[in-house]
Amino acid sequence: MSLRGRIAIVGAADTKVGVVPDMSPTELCVNAALLALQDADLDKSAIDGLITCNSFAEPIMYHAEAIAEYLQIFPRYCVTANTGGGTTLAVIQQAAAAMEAGLANTVLISMADSLRSSMTREQSMRTQASTGHPQFEQPYGLSVPAYYALIGQAHMAEFGTTREQFAEVAVSCRVHASRNLHAQKRELISVSDVIASRPIAEPLHLLDCSLVSDGGAALIITTSERAADYPHAPVYLLGIGEGHSHEHISQAASLTTSAAVESGCRAYEMAGLTASDMDFAQLYDCFTPTVLVELEDLGFCSKGEGGDYLQSGATYPGGALPVNTHGGMLSHCHPGNPGSMFALTETVWQLRHQAEERQVENAAVGLVHAQGGIMSSHATAIFARERG
C-alpha cells in the first residue's frame, strides 16, 4: 500500500543548537519532545508511539524506553533506531508503517546529542576512526573526513570537478544560515575562504566539513485523518524511499554514484512527482562533495554536471532549487546522527510558510534527503502543503 498522503507532521521543534553546555543529550532530547508537544498543542498522554536515536555522548542501553520514562509517557510502540545520519528519515517510514498497521496513532520522534560539549577531542577521534572496516580500512588510519575525501577525489578524477565547485556548497549554505537567527555559524564566507581554510583530507578543507554541535529536534506525526485537529497546517508525506548499497566504503560499487538514486526513485514514484516539481531541497551535507553527488543522483542535474549546477547559483536563496534553507550541517548545526532532524523541522516551517526571512516564495513541495555511514544508507522523502 502506498503511503502517499496517509500521514502528516503536526508538531515540530528544535532546541537551542551550537554550544549548549547546560543541557545533557538526554535533557536536549526531552526538551525537544516537550517543545514539539507544545507546538502541536498536544498533551503527552496522547502519544502512543515513540522513536529515538541513541546518543554518542551519553549512550543509554534502552534509549527510547529511558526517554519515555523521563517524559512519563507509556507508548505501545517504542523504538530506538540507528542507521547513522539516515535514521531521521528511515524512522518516518517506520512510523508510517506502524500507524498503517494500527500499532500507533500519534508518534513522537525525538533525537539529540551533545558532540560539542559532552565529548572530548580524544573521544571524538576514537569514534571517527572506528567507522572503517576493522580488517580492510581501520589499519590504514583513516577517519570519517578521509573516507568522504575519497568521494571528492573520485568525482574530480572522473568528471573534472574542482575544489571551487565543492566550495560553492559551503558558501550557499552559509548564505542561507545568515538569514537564520538560530544557526550556529552566520558569518558570510567566500569560495576563496573555503579553499584557504585549514586542510583536513585532500581535497577537503575545514569549511568543507560540517560543524560539531549540540542540539536536538522533534516531530509529531499522525494519520492524515487526525491532522486537521491540530493548530498548524499539516505537512503531508507524499513519498518516501530508502536505498542501501554497502556498509564500508571499500565495498562500494561506485564512489561517484550512490544509493540515493534508488531512494529518490522510490520517493518520486510514490509521490507521483519528479525533481523538477520540488520548490526546495534539504540535502545531507556532512561534507561538500556529498551534496554534489546527491544533486546528481536525485535528478536535479545530470551525472557529472553537479559542479556546474552549483556554480550557476541554483542552490542559493532565490535560485532554481534553494538547498538547506536553514544553513544545513555546514552552517546551522550537526550534532551527529540527529543532524538531518533539523532538515525536517525546517521543511515543516517552509511548508507552513513560517520560515521568516529565509522563506522560499510560495513553497508547496520540498524534498529531504539523508544518508548514513559513508554514503551507505540513503533515505529520501517528499513533503507538501496539500495532501494530494
Percent of the chain with pLDDT over 70: 100
Whether 10 shows a pLDDT value over 90: the answer reads yes
- Cell numbers standing for residue 67: 526517554
In a domain, 25, yes or no: yes
In a domain, 91, yes or no: yes
Q: What is the pLDDT of residues 227-239, one digit of tens each?
A: 999 999 999 999 9
Q: What is the DSSP string of 88-121?
A: HHHHHHHHHHHHHTTS-SEEEEEEEEETTTSS-H
**Distance (Å, rounded) from C-alpha 204 to C-alpha 289?**
9
- Fill in the amino acid letter for 211: L
Cβ atoms within 10 Å of 192's Cβ, excluding its own: 11
In a domain, 40, yes or no: yes
Residue showing cell 542501501: 244
pLDDT of residue 23: 97
Higher local confidence (pLDDT), 325 or 143: 325
| Bridge partners (DSSP) listed for residue 237 | 383
Mean per-residue pLDDT over the chain, rounded: 96
Name which of 125-129, 223-227, 241-245, 305-309 the model is least confident about.
125-129
Beta strands in the chain (DSSP E): 7-14, 49-53, 77-81, 106-114, 199-201, 204-205, 214-223, 235-244, 280-283, 365-372, 377-384
Which residues 6+ apart lie within 8 Å of 358 measured at CB? 176, 179, 180, 317, 325, 326
CB 253 within 8 A of CB 155: no
Average pLDDT over residues 289-315: 98
In a domain, 321, yes or no: no
In a domain, 298, yes or no: no
Predicted structure pTM score: 0.97
R_g of the chain computed on alpha carbons: 19
Q: How confident is the model at residue 1 (pLDDT cuts 50, 70, 90)?
A: low
Average pLDDT over residues 284-301: 98
- Fill in the amino acid letter for 245: S
Q: What is the pLDDT of residues 165-208, one digit of tens each?
A: 999 999 999 999 999 999 999 999 999 999 999 999 999 999 99
* Domain housing 98: 7-119+214-229
**Distance (Å, rounded) from C-alpha 261 to C-alpha 26?**
35
Whether 119 shows a pLDDT value over 90: the answer reads no
Average pLDDT over residues 113-128: 83
Which residues 6+ apart lie within 8 Å of 66 measured at CB? 26, 60
Q: What is the pLDDT of residues 325-362, one digit of tens each?
A: 999 999 999 999 999 999 999 999 999 999 999 999 99
CB 176 within 8 A of CB 328: yes
Length of the chain: 388
Distances 194 to 42, 146, 210, 313, 325 between C-alpha atoms, Å: 44, 17, 12, 17, 19
Peptide bond just before 317 cis, omega within 30 deg:
no
- For the chain, what is the domain count? 1
CB 378 within 8 A of CB 258: yes
**Residue 95: strand, helix, or coil:** helix
In a domain, 327, yes or no: no
In a domain, 72, yes or no: yes
pLDDT of residue 130: 75
Q: How far apart are the first and last CA of the chain?
A: 16
In a domain, 289, yes or no: no
Which residues 6+ apart lie within 8 Å of 333 measured at CB? 17, 18, 183, 184, 211, 213, 214, 215, 339, 342
Q: What is the CATH number of the domain that holds 11?
A: 3.40.47.10
